[in-house]
Structures are given as C-alpha cells and as structure tokens.
Structure 1
Amino acid sequence: MKTLLITNANIVNEGKVFEGDVLIRGQYIEAVGKNLASHTANEVIDAKGKYLLPGVIDDQVHFREPGLTHKGNIRSESRAAVAGGVTSFMEMPNTNPPTFTQDLLEQKYVIASHSSLANYSFFMGAANDNLDEVMKTDITRVCGLKIFMGSSTGNLLVDDPKTLEQFFSRFPSLIAAHCEDEATIRKNTAEFKARYGEEVPIRCHPLIRSAEACYLSSSFAIDLARKNGTRFHILHISTAKETALFDNSIPLEKKLITAEACIHHLWFNDSDYDRLGTFIKWNPAIKTAHDQAEVFKAVLDDRIDVIATDHAPHTREEKQNTYFKAPSGGPLVQHSLVAMLEFYHQGKITLETIVQKMSHNPAILFRIQKRGFIREGYFADLVLADLNDPWTVGQENIVAQCGWSPFEGATFRSKVHHTFVSGHRAYSNGRFDDAKHGERLLFDRK
C-alpha cells in the first residue's frame, strides 16, 4: 500500500499549531507526531515553512449538474474545490430537474462517483408535495434535507405551513434552510418597481431582500424547530439582527439549532455594489458594513458555527444583466480558504479558528465519519498551504467552468500547494490528478 510522509509541517489542528510530521498509508492517516522520518515511505514531502490543515468541508455548494451544465458540472466545480483546499462538499437540490425523488438523488451520487475529485454528499430537496419521498432518505448516507423558505434561483419554494410542519416534525435528521420571507420580498419588489420600473439599481438589492425579510423567516423557522425538537441548520446568515437568534453557551455537539456564514457576507458589503454590480448579487443579499461586522463577530464568538461558500456559478453573460434578469450567486469554492487566510494576515481571525469553522465544525455538525480532523485512523483529507506565496486572481488561474470570480484582481498572500483527498493527491501546484475520484460521505447517525 502506497505511503506518503509529510515532514516538518506547521500542523493546524484541534486548537493548536505545532511543527510535526504526518504519515499517510493508503487512504488513511497512520501517524501524527514528531520525528517520523525514520518511517519508510514511498514519497516524502518536506513541508518546512508550510502549513498543513484538515481539508475544508463546504456544506453549501451548487455544482449545477444535472440540467444546468452550461454553468458548471460536478467535475469542473470539484476541481475548483480541490484547487482551493476543499476536500468535501455538500451540494444543493436546485438542479434541473430538482432533487425531489430518491431516484434523482441517487443519480447525482452516480455522476459524482465517476467525476468528482472531492468527496461528496447531496441534500434531498423538499417540495410542497414530496413528503413521502423525503421520508425514504437514508440519513446515514445523505447529509440532510434542504428547504427553501424563500425563493432563490430555481422554483423550490416551500410555503405551505402544513407541509413545513410535517417536515419539521417528522424528518429524523438535519434540516438545512434558506430563510427569507417571501411576502416581504414581494412587497419590497413592488415598491421598487413602482419607483424604477425594470431598471432597479443593483444597490437596491439589500433593500428588496431586506434584513427584515431574513429575520422574519429565520425567527419563524427557529420557532418551528424548537417546537418540534428539530435538528435545524440555517444557511448563509447575512444580518446583524439574525445573529441574536443563536446560542454560544453550549458545545456544538449538543446544539439542535446551528448556523452558517458565507465568505461573501464576510468579505463584501453594500459599498461594493457600485464597483462589482450584479457580480455580487446573492440571495440573501450582501448588506451593510454593520451587518458584515456583526456576522463576523458571531463567527468568532461561536453563535455561528461554520463557514461555507454557497458556490453558485453562472456564466459571465448571465451575470452581466439588469437587476431582475441577472441570476443570484457566484463562484467562491476555489478562493474560500485563501480568503479566510487573508483575514488571518489582517489579524481578524486565528488559524485555529479558521480550521475549526471550515473543517472541524462541519464534521461535528453533520456527524461525518472520520473526516475533518488530522487524527490517526481518519481519512487523509489534507491541505498543504504556503502562507507567504502571493498570487493574484485572474482569468488564467480560475478553475470554475464559468471563468470569472468576484475576487478577480485581488491578491492573496496564501496559496494552496497540495490537496489530498482520502490520501490521493488530487491537486498539486496547478495540476490535477484524476486517477482517483472522491468518495461518498457517510454519517454517524441512528
């Protein structure tokens, strides 16, 4: 069985940074410690000066396959993922057709088994009329149930109160939700259309999909989850007001209600619309600098548990459109880790917290088997990065199929050199190795 020894790395793991070695045998980490150089290995990487992190686990991506593959597909976007140090992803059901049946869900797993460089899981999608299909979900082999409690890209809005009650009371595992109040959005849309017609300025986006729309939906959903004892995870928190809904007084392992922040809500604010326009149009919207700061604060104090991307590629042509015609979403999975490492360079977050929020906590929150940590006996999902190797994002180095990024022109001080997925070096200094594909994530749930 092939062995690889990584020596002299600055290992970031479980709240510590220490210099050490990691021995990989096949898919697994065999040993972690110091002075492992005496072990015989097929290959040795001297990582002196570099940092070894657990692979990033992104709990919210949209890879567009099946049906929307002109934007991206599982192969192309998983390559972007491993280029950015993301070794596992959980993908959303708003493909075409939407993932509303067990057969459609399994079709995505088959596609990934033949094409994904990263490990993968897919959310089952909720609709107003598919409760019976949802209840067939094998919760040990599927990351969770996704409910759109606010319309976004695709027609997956679940707005029937009786249906929501059934999902929250009966689904036996994690429910993840997009929370925006549809009635508020429709009211705001009508008001801005009356003022501007079809030419609504992009700067109005956070006023249409407002902080109040987010809070109304999130608070309603949390009340519903508490009433039913539901394991509930709210995606892409974007407002200061919502952060008060979450608790940091108990350990993550015991939380029933958890939350996610996304890179774009930490990096951008509404002052960036004038410069980037519809290229930073997301749902929920990027909001004020105050919202941005408070969401970051909630990440740091553990009210918000994980950091993800909501990676959602659209073509450049689709995004270069008027407000109502431009789709929401953008590609971020290649740049999420280096963006967070840039915050580290700015003194805003520690390396240990980055690893906690991007690797450890997703593994704990979803109860993923043997991933998310640098531990003996765990899968060797690892990222080797140089924190002093500056590079500038440009079309020539963007891996996502859509070929653009909201970070174009930005210079990051850190660079991912190698990404290992279950012991396989899937990415190495700009080159990919498709000899082995990622694996289906499994979950420790009863």
Structure 2
Amino acid sequence: MATQVTGDGGAGRRGFSTRQLHERAAGAAPTARATPIYLTAGFEFDEYEQAAAHFGEGRGYAYTRIGNPTVEAVEHTLAALEGGSQALLLSSGQAATSVALLSLLESGQHVVSSTHIYEGTRGLLRDNLSRLGIGTTFIDDIDDVDAWEAAIRPETRALFAESISNAANRLVDIPALSDVARRHGIPLVIDNTFATPYLVRPIEQGADVVVHSASKFLAGHGSVLGGAIVDSGRFDAERSGHLFPHLIAPGRGGLPSIAERTGGDARIAYARESVAPRLGPTPSPLNAFLIGQGIETLSLRVERQSANALAVAQWLDGRPEVASVDYVGLTTHPDHALAGALLPDGFGSVFSFTLRADGDGDAAGTARRFVEALEVFTHMTHLGDVRSLVLHPASTSHAFLSPDERAALGVHDGTLRVSIGIEDVTDLIGDLAQALSVAADVGVAVVA
C-alpha cells in the first residue's frame, strides 16, 4: 500500500516508514554509572563544520572503526592499570600483537623474540611476517641477557617476550631486557596476558609496549574476544627517530609528523591512525563493554585464581603419577627466584604438568584418559576464565611442532596445561585426584 503524502512536511505528518526511523526523544542522555554501549557504526555531526573538524583534526566521533566512546572508556582504564600513556583496544589478542609489531617493523627489518611464546605469535613471526621480509631470531635461553643483546642487528626494531610464558611458565627479566632495548634505542614489547596488570606491570619495569589477549583474564568470563596494546608514551624521536622514519616523516601535504603531533605517544598514535583502521581489526562496542565489566573484578579473580593455582600445583607436585609440574610458584621452578621479585602478588593461574607414562610407555594415552575423566575442569582451548580449564598441548596448540621443538618448550606427550579458576580448591583437587586414579587404572603399573 502506498504511503500517504500530506504535503505539509511537518514532523507530525511524516510517513510511517520515515517516523519509525527518525522519531526519538530530544535532549541530553542521562548519566549512566555503568559504561554506556554505543552500539553504532557511525555518529551524527551536529553541524556542517564538525565533520570537517573531525577529518582535519580528529575531533569528536565519526565512525566506530576510528573511535567509539565505549571502546575509549575501556582503553582509558587499561592504560591506567598498566601504567601506560595510552591504550588501543582491538578485536583479538592476535590482532593486538600483529598491529603492535606492524607499527614498528617493515620489510628488511628484524625482531628478537623469546622462544617461549604463544604458538599463534610464533606462527605470525615465522610464517606471516617472514613473507613480508621481516626476520626473527628466537632466543632459547631467555634468562641469558647477553644472548638477547648478541642477537640484535642494525636492522632490529623490537624485542618481544611474554611476562609469563606458555607453556613452561618461564619468566623474562623485564628490567634487564628493557636495559638492553634502551641501549639500542628499540622498544621492548611484552605480552602480559598471563600475568595481567594486577600481577606485573611491564611498563613500570621498563618495557615500552604491552599487548594483551583481552579475551582471557581481562574479560574473565570467556564470552568475548578482544585484544589491547598499551604504550609507555616514552618514544624518544631524537634518540630513536632515525630507526623509525615513519614516525618522524612529514605528513602528506607538508603536515607535521606523527612524532611532532603526539610526542612520546607516536608509536601508539601510528598504530591507531595508520595500522589498525586500515587493516580493520575493530572491536565491537558490545565486546568492549563486556571486557570493561570484567576488568572491574580483575584483582579479585586473579588473586583467587593464583591462590588456587599454587595449592593445586603443590598438590600435583607431590603425586607419584606426575613426573613434573612447571609452575613458577614452586621452589623447584628455574625462575622461582625471579618470580619473587617480579610477581609479589601471586604467580598466576596457568601452568602445565606432565603425567608419567603407563606400563606400556603410553604417556599420551594416560593424558587422554585423565582429561576424559575430569568432571569439574572444562576441556577447551581457552584460559583466564573463572572456570578451570584443561588442554593437551601436544595434540592441539603444539601439534604442528616437531617432537624436539615441543620438548624444548616443555611440551611432552603426557603434558597438560591447566588454567585454574575460582572454584573451591578442594573440589579442584578432588577432581584431579579421581582423574589420576582413572588414568592409571588400566591394568598396568604406572612407571615411576
């Protein structure tokens, strides 16, 4: 049926289809205590000149891929918690790492990385960035600061490591590495996903850039994906500008360079203006809101998770069915002394342990029986959840590495990674105990 046209043009006389789109209450929005969700692709300009001011000077909001109030509220909180100058929220942790590195590196350049990193990051460095002409040297003995310095070349533009590694729970001496990076005028980039800013703040330890998978501990509920970059704001154009000419080069049309416009925030400004919006890993404002809600209870969760993890690790360490426990909170861990200095509020909640093989020498079979017998632990690819999780790295996250490569990372056929949640610790230990009993009960003796 055709819409009746009144010819009057007044708001009250507009057609039904027009009114259902445009009728809304006038006036300022009320002030909400919780962060409002601006679930919109774009924003209206109040006046003609406002559009030009946004595109010319970056004022206000125009399009959520470029900026959104919900996203910016979470960025502000993250920067404050990490002790950084600015944060940039992205659609995933992998996006955060990619954008951070691509903001620093170009073809012909080089990064020095810890061997003990997330396999997705290793793949990014070995397979994807290498295709762009960016090389990587991996450091196996990560506590050897001289090895890090020796690996730096004239074309090196970043050092990369994890504060607490996956899966052997290794630590790096952040202050020592930051000294190395500073001597060469290049940034130290730390993935702080496992530790969270509650346990360690790498920027306060001298790091320059921090990345997170916000899907993990920051959100905490396992409902959304997200990632974040936090920058120290300490970019020194006079000292390091020649290494990063894209940050000091004049803008198009003779405009000031990013460094001239933003000073010490040049790195993250470049990531925000030139890398993230063009590659497009934009976070949903709804996801940003849910990450922000999770952050509000971060300290409570991580404190409980760390306490539970220490109790579980100590219990596993005394079990005859368990060959080893890689948890930095144990005095037997090679990095325990360093953990005392870097992690005064807890040792984190993600670690691995290795089951002994059964009488037939089948450690993988023992691990499978163990996982299938668990009732409280959830079997899934995730970590940092309020729920306790378990995964068998050799058949999942590390499946495409050679046996020697897996062994170098502390991943064996009987190795299991756990992410300890906030459940009652007696229930967690009880679940592990009954699963160990089932795993060993196959009619053969467990090999001591």
Which protein is bigger by CA-based radius of gyration?
Answer: 2
The structure carrying a bigger helix percent of its residues is 2
TM-score by length of structure 2 reads: 0.26
Higher strand share: 1
